[in-house]
Amino acid sequence: MTRKKKTRGGAGVTIFIDPPRRSEKLADPDSYESRKRKNLEQKKKRKSVYQKAVDSEQDKGQQQAERKTPLADKIRRLKAAENAREEADQEADQEADKEQSNDE
């Protein structure tokens, strides 16, 4: 008895499925192609020296503006009151000097 050679079984009708096109892959947010393109677009680019300086200046301004704590508010109020007192004293001194010069 001879052995029978293996043959491929199946329905006999082969259906070829077209793979998705690149545009279809890019439309799908979970596909490798779309993730790759998105990461390339978001990839960090080196900044110029000028741009770094501009960004650091903006950051400094934001850091000063961000300090809105009760202690910082209290210090601002005290400094404002002290400045107002000093200005009032200077005005009073100027008026006193004017009166003394007028009397002479």
Write down the pTM of the prediction.
0.34
- Determine the structural domain holding residue 87 and report its residue range: 70-104
Cα 50 from Cα 24, distance rounded (Å): 41
Cα 83 from Cα 89, distance rounded (Å): 10
Q: How confident is the model at residue 104, as a pLDDT?
A: 59
Cβ(33)–Cβ(26) below 8 Å: yes
Residues of the chain with pLDDT under 70: 10-12, 63-67, 103-104
Q: How confident is the model at residue 86, as a pLDDT?
A: 94
Backbone angles phi and psi of 14, in degrees to 5:
-95, 130
Q: Is residue 15 included in any domain, yes or no? A: no
Q: How far is CA 1 from the centre of its chain?
A: 79
Q: How many domains does the chain have?
A: 2
Q: How confident is the model at residue 70, as a pLDDT?
A: 87
If asked whether residues 62 and 74 sit together in one domain, one would say no
